[in-house]
Structure 1
Amino acid sequence: MAVKIKDVAKKAGVSVTTVSRVLNGEKYVKDDLKLRVNRAIEELGYVPSQIARSLVSRKTNLIGVIVPDITSNFYSTILSSIEETASSNGYNLLVCNISEDIDKEFKYLTIFKEMRVEGIVIMHEKINEEIRTFINKLNVPVIFSSVKPMDQEFISVIIDDYQAAYEATEHLIGLGHERIGFIGGDMRDITSGQNRYSGYRNALTDHKLKIVYEWIRFGDYKVQSGYDMMREILRGKQLPTAVFAVSDDMAVGAMNCIYDHKLQVPGDISVVGFDGSQLTELVRPRLSSMEQPIYEMGSVTVGTLLKLISAEGEYDSGGDIIMKHRFIARDSCRRIVNP
């Protein structure tokens, strides 16, 4: 049978309250009593119940995390940073991968409430009214990482997605490209969908370049989606000289499709990605990409959430936290000379 706290108290010859105080690191417990309790714990092999301790201390040291797609290179990287930062501060994660399923999200948020998590990180913005109402009523801090939902008062840790997409498109224009295709994301997403598409369109318009809808497709940020969308673009009568994809995963899928159609990157079509994930250095040619500070975003997300937790909701961050983006040129783009 499992050793209980009362067994430790009996072995040490002290009260259960004294054992509890020693376990919780409270002051004003005599050194000789601490020694007797710790010796009894070691001899009996007692393992404290985290649930029991949390009921006493009113702290669970748990953070709930909602991830839309854990297979994504972007989300797996930012999640790694979140876990590392949380762990170094004495917190554990409850990670839930919803696979873009909103029904799953409501179920997991309910579990977070039951497990008494002290804070929640959400990494997607497709929030229906039921979920919106639920999180607004939760008595715990909620922070959004890498996304900014519409009409939400919660803090978001993000980049300027519109400006980043504008600059990525402008990089291709600066290399002499006038026929630039686009593989976008889910247009229900404000951040990575609408804002990045607007940045692409406005960059073309501001440089007096034509928007060719035959070269514009929308996917789901995954490698296969990038492949499928690129295949549709390649079926057109005239091909673009460059393609901008709003995720590195889709950019890699597009590169694979170009290769399978006996074309070359960047010889025939230049490709630019978005995120700056580890994929950029793993593929050949190495992928030029608009880099988000992914790892730093995860760390800042947790750091801000912990301030909200310690301040019991009274911490004023000054609003959303906008991280800096930067374009990293590698080998997947070439300069062309227009006649």
Structure 2
Amino acid sequence: MRASIKDVAQRAGVSVTSVSRVLNGEKYISEALLEKVNRAIEELDYSPSHIARSLKTHRTNTIGIIVPDITNHFFSTILRSIEETASALGYTLLVGNIAENLEKEMKYLQIFKEMRIDGIIIMHQKFNDEIITFFNNANMPILFSSINAPSNAHLSVRIDDYRAAFDATEYLIRMGHTKIAYFSGDLQDIAAGRNRYSGYLGALQEHGIKRNESFIKLGDYKLSSGRRLMEELLRQEELPTVIFAATDDMAVGALNGALDHGLRVPDDISIIGFDGSAVAEIVRPSITSMQQPMDELGRKSVEYIHQLIVHPDLIIQEDIILQHWLVERESFKPRA
């Protein structure tokens, strides 16, 4: 039979309370007690019941993650950082890869609730009324990573997507480009969709450049979408000198589409992306990109939700805004 905490106490010659103090990592425990209990645990091959401990401590040491698409290089990179930080803090992750499906997202949220996990990190920007109601009524911390929170009641760890897209577009303008195409994702997505698109338009307006509707294409952030939008663009009579894609995956898709049609990048057309994921470095020519601090996004997300878990009354007034920067690579050159 599996050894119990009473068996450990009996083998060590101490009380059950003393064993519990050791297991819970309490301070001010004598070396002699530690040695007795640890020796008994090893001899009996004892492992505490996760369920019993969670019932007693009201903690499961588990964090739920909602990811829109785990195959996306951006999200997979952040998820790796989240896992490393969570593991170091003693948490186990439950990951829900929802593939942009709101019904699936709601299902995972209900599972997280039933499993009494300690907190949830959301990385998917699209919400419906049922999901918003869940957020508002949840009795656990919920943090939004790399996206905007739906209200001031929840904390978000992110960059300023509007400013980052504005800065990227302004950089293109300073480098002599005025015919700037923009490949966007779903504009229902506030951060990567609406805010980046608004930043692009804001920079054009700031520099007196008229918006060309034929240069604005809507896709879904994926590599295949970037390729499709490039093929659509190349069927037009008027072409831009540079394409600004809302994600690196879209930028790589656009690159492949351009190369397939015999265009030279960046000699015939320049391409820049957004996120700074590993895929931007792997392809040739490598992709110039507006960099997000992905490792820091993952690390900060876990550190802050950990603070909200261990300090339930803690109120953080403002979102955590991290810095963006442009990484210049081979896919872009100034316009003479």
Hey, what's the Cα distance between the residues in 1 that align with 2:259 and 2:80? 32
TM-score by length of 1: 0.92
Q: Which residue of 2 aligns with 1:215?
A: 215
Give a deviation string over 1:93-129, Cα, whole Å, max 9, x none.
2111111111111111112112222111101221111
What residue is the counterpart of 1:320 in the other structure? 319
Given residue 334 of structure 1, which amino acid in structure 2 is its aligned partner? Answer: K
In structure 2, distance between residues paired with 1:25 and 1:324: 37
Q: TM-score, normalised by structure 2?
A: 0.93
CA contact (8 A) 2:222 2:249 kept: yes
Distance 1:21 1:303, change over 3 A: closer
Distance 1:34-1:208 versus aligned 2 partners, 3 A rule: closer
What SS does the corresponding residue of 2:69 show, helix, strand or coil?
coil
Distance 1:160 1:5, change over 3 A: same
Q: Go from structure 1 to structure 2 and tell me whether the alpha carbon gap of 1:260 and 1:7 turns closer, same or farther (over 3 Å shift).
A: same
Inter-partner Cα distance in structure 1 for 2:319 and 2:228: 35
Q: Is the 8 A contact 2:149 2:155 kept in 1?
A: no
In structure 1, the gaps of 5 or more residues are none
How many Å separate the matches in 1 of 2:113 and 2:124?
Answer: 19
User: Equivalences for 1:1-339 in 2 at 5 Å?
Assistant: 1-9=1-9, 11-12=11-12, 16-26=16-26, 35-312=35-312, 314-337=313-336
Provide the C-alpha distance between the structure 2 equivalents of 1:330 and 1:165, rounded to a whole number of angstroms: 17
RMSD: 2.0
CA distance in 1, matches of 2:303, 2:21: 29
Q: What is the identity, as a one-letter code, of the residue corresponding to 1:199?
A: G
Answer with 209-218 or 99-108: which moved more: 209-218
* In structure 1, distance between residues paired with 2:233 and 2:185: 15
Q: Which deviates further from its counterpart, 34-43 or 100-109?
A: 34-43
Letter in 2 for 1:332: S
Letter in 2 for 1:129: D
8 Å CA contact retained: 1:216, 1:233: no
Distance in structure 2 (CA, Å) of the matches to 1:171 and 1:227 = 24
Question: Is contact 1:126–1:149 with CA below 8 Å preserved after alignment?
Answer: no
1:283-309, Cα deviation, whole Å (9 max, x unpaired): 111211111111111112122212222
**DSSP 3-state at the match of 2:71:** coil
Aligned pair count? 336
Identical columns (%): 55
Which amino acid in the other structure matches residue 38 of structure 1? N
Q: Secondary structure at the match of 1:120?
A: strand
**CA offset at residue 254 of structure 1?**
0.4
What displacement does 1:154 show? 0.7
Give the aligned residue type for 2:103: D
**In structure 1, what residue type is equivalent to 2:206?**
D
- For the residue of structure 1 that corresponds to 2:46, the secondary structure is coil
Deviation by residue 1:172-216 (Cα, 9 ceiling, x = unmatched)? 212212211110011111111111111112222222223222221
Query: In the alignment, is the contact (CA less than 8 A) between 2:177 and 2:241 conserved in 1?
Result: yes
| Aligned-partner SS, 2:65 | strand
Following the alignment from structure 2 to structure 1, what is the Cα–Cα distance between the partners of residues 94 and 294? 20
Q: 1:53 is paired with a residue of what secondary structure?
A: helix
Cα offset, 1:149, TM superposition: 3.8
How far the C-alpha of 1:24 sits from its partner, in A, is 2.6
C-alpha distance in 1 between matches for 2:153 and 2:18:
44
1:30/1:273 Cα in 2 relative to 1: closer, same or farther (>3 Å)? Answer: closer
Give me the whole-angstrom Cα distance separating, in 2, the residues matched to 1:105 and 1:4.
Answer: 38
Alpha-carbon shift at residue 146 of structure 1 (Å):
0.9
Q: Give the match's secondary structure for 1:71.
A: coil
- CA separation of 1:21 and 1:270: change in aligned 2, threshold 3 A: same
Q: Which amino acid is 2:64 matched to? A: G
Contact between 1:149 and 1:190, CA under 8 Å: does it hold in 2? no
Query: 2: distance between equivalents of 1:74 and 1:270?
Result: 22
Distance 1:186 1:68 in 2: 13
- d(CA) in 1 for partners of 2:90 and 2:251? 38
Cα 1:177/1:143, change in 2 over 3 Å: same
Aligned letter for 1:157? Answer: V
Name the CA distance, whole Å, in 2 between partners of 1:295 and 1:124.
18
Q: Which runs of 5+ in 2 are unaligned?
A: none
Query: What is the Cα deviation at residue 66 of structure 1?
Result: 0.9
